[in-house]
Amino acid sequence: GFDIDALDWIAKEMKFKVKHQPTDWAAIVPTLQAKKIDVIASGMSITPERQAAVNFTEPYWTVQQRLVVKNDSKLTDKQCLEPGRKIALLRGSAESKWMTENLLKKGSSFELKAYDTTPLAIEDVANGRADCAAVSNTALKNAQGKGLKVKSIGSYGQPDTNYGYAVRKDDAEFLKKLNEGWKKLKASPKFQELVKKWELR
């Protein structure tokens, strides 16, 4: 996706090597802290809780959080949050935490269905195994680009989220290099090329 292409460009520009390693999202921060990976470059929301555990680059993208249903669904955003509804989302995600803290703990009684990847969550909505998905507008566009018959029906209340790459607290030198790389990428025509390629606007 966008994050990987951006990291590849930054690595080439800043002269370091990259080896991509798929990692279970729910365990991604502990994996970083255990030095099994060096950077999380995967659409990670910058939250106060995560900032206590890792250092983030300057934000490189802002996303809106959306409720997503299959194209022929008549559900509204309010109906998605009714008792008994199944809402699909990424395990350990900012969406999951926000919904739990701000909706479920305050009396809502829908069911959260957690998935190992966001595409799997959206696929289950498209296939009718979940009523709605709580995902970013970026994830929605990626899914639609791959032919999934899904649409946005609005927001569930979570504020817009900033994305950043995450590194270990003691890795100040690498953080500086990534920030410098992002600055160069945003000043380059390559940035808009990637935005267009991954349909982020």
CA dihedral 65, 67, 70, 74 (to 10 degrees): -150
Listed in order, strand segments (DSSP E) in 91-154 are 111-115, 132-136, 150-152
The reported pLDDT for the residue numbered 83 is 96
Q: Say yes or no to pLDDT of 182 above 80.
A: yes
Distance CA 96, CA 88 (A): 9
Overall average pLDDT of the 136-163 stretch: 93
Fold observed for domain 65-152? D-Maltodextrin-Binding Protein; domain 2 (3.40.190)
Are 160 and 87 in contact by the 8 Å Cβ rule? The answer is no
Predicted local confidence at residue 199, as pLDDT: 80
Q: What is the pLDDT of residue 142?
A: 86
Nearest-angstrom CA–CA distance, 155 and 98: 13
Model pLDDT for residues 183-196, shown as the tens digit of each residue = 999 999 999 999 99
Q: Which two tokens stand for residue 154?
A: 């609005």
Digit-coded pLDDT (tens) for 15-44: 999 999 999 998 999 999 999 999 999 989
Give me the phi and psi of 152, to 5 degrees please. -90, 140
132-136/86-90 β-pairing: parallel
How far apart CA 60 and CA 162 sit, in angstroms, is 7
Going by pLDDT thresholds of 50, 70 and 90, the confidence category of residue 200 is: confident
pTM equals 0.82
Q: Contact at 8 Å (CB) between 124 and 38?
A: no
- Would you list the DSSP string of 162-179? EEEEEE-TT-HHHHHHHH
CATH 3.40.190.10 residue ranges for the chain:
2-62+162-197, 65-152
**How many CA atoms lie within 13 Å of 136's alpha carbon, on the beta-carbon side?**
21
Taken in order 195, 135, 153, 102, is the CA torsion positive or negative?
negative
Residue 186 confidence (pLDDT): 98
Q: Which CATH architecture has domain 2-62+162-197?
A: 3-Layer(aba) Sandwich (3.40)
